[in-house]
Amino acid sequence: MNLMLFEPGELDAPLPRDDVRARHIVGVLRLGVGARIDAGVIDGVVGIATLTDVGASTLRLSFEPGLEPPPLPDITLVVGLPRPPTARDVLRDGTTLGVRAIHFVTPQLGDPNYATSSLWKTSEWRKQLIQGAGQASCTRLPEVTWGRRLSTVLAASSTAERIALHNDEAATPLARWRRPAGGASVLVAIGPERGWGPRDLQALDEGGCTLWHLGPRVLRVELAMAAALTLVHAEVARNAPT
């Protein structure tokens, strides 16, 4: 937890000792009154929280606001809805790597029951975003949607450069991708565990996506996401104006 994140208004209220952040402060970091902690308001400023009181049932913090963090990278992640444990990894690690939005679409070869998991029915999905943002020392959370059709998401997106991963159909490794001059926004589409089906590939083609691969080895969804976003971020950084 490199940056401790709080909802707006939480820093003005006592923090229960059974809260995961309180347990981290007292049980893991073993901090006492006067300790200063890197903290931030979700989708707000980064600052410093000072531990002012350690009670039997609550902690109290005093927050000194600092600067607004930079905007999220203009990268949209589209993922064929995977099993809930994999979706948790994508939510957390995609947020850590840095994207503007994560859209989980209903793929042709996916299981529709994944969309009714408790991950999506509770606030669990948002907790994964907060964990990922805290790891990255960032307060900003990406937009997240789930359960829409791939074609619908592509039609609604304004991204200019559109990348889709597919080991069998793609001829060119993603490591050779070069971002167009001018800093175009980027969309990266990754299939579910069983891959993109024929209807998905048609939607990707009609949605303006070009196919790329990550090499001959078949990767898990979350690993493919991390590898693809790493390559995209590296190219975006190389192509950024100095």
Note the pLDDT tens digit of each residue in 31-76.
Answer: 999 999 999 999 999 999 999 999 999 999 999 999 999 999 999 9
Q: Which DSSP letter does residue 114 get? A: G
Q: SS3 of 196, please? A: coil
Predicted confidence at residue 20, as pLDDT, reads 94
pLDDT band at 226 (very low <50, low <70, confident <90, very high): very high
Q: Extract the tokens encoding 153.
A: 């998401």
Question: What's residue 241's pLDDT?
Answer: 64
- The verdict on domain 75-239 having CATH code 3.40.1280.10 is yes
pLDDT digits (tens, 9 = 90+) for 76-114: 999 999 999 999 999 999 999 999 999 999 999 989 899
Q: What is the DSSP letter of 112?
A: G
Per-residue pLDDT reduced to its tens digit, 124-178: 999 999 999 999 999 999 999 999 999 999 999 998 899 999 988 899 999 999 9
| Position 242 confidence tier, pLDDT thresholds 50, 70, 90 | low
Q: What value does the mean pLDDT take over residues 187-202?
A: 96
- Can you give the pLDDT at residue 190? 98
CATH of domain 4-65: 2.40.240.20
Q: How confident is the model at residue 181 (pLDDT cuts 50, 70, 90)?
A: confident
Q: What is the dihedral of CA 46, 145, 80, 161, to 10 degrees?
A: -70
Q: Which residue has the tokens 């175009």?
A: 184
In this predicted structure, what is the pLDDT of residue 112? 87
Nearest to 60, CA basis, from 24, 130, 10, 18: 10
Q: Which of 37, 46, 38 is nearest to 65 (CA)?
A: 46
**CATH code 3.40.1280.10 region(s) in the chain:** 75-239
Residue 198 reports pLDDT greater than 90 = yes
Q: Where in the chain is the domain with CATH 2.40.240.20?
A: 4-65
Which ranges constitute the DSSP H helices of the chain?
A: 20-23, 84-97, 118-121, 124-135, 150-156, 198-206, 221-239
CB-side neighbour CA atoms (13 Å) of 61:
29
Residues 115/116/119/123 CA torsion (nearest 10 deg): 110
Query: What pLDDT does residue 180 have?
Result: 80
CB atoms within 10 A of CB 227: 17
Half-sphere exposure of 53 (CA within 13 A, CB side): 13
Local confidence band at 238 (pLDDT 50, 70, 90 cut-offs): confident
**Looking at the predicted structure, is the pLDDT value of residue 18 above 80?**
yes
Residues of the chain with pLDDT > 90, as a percent, come to 88
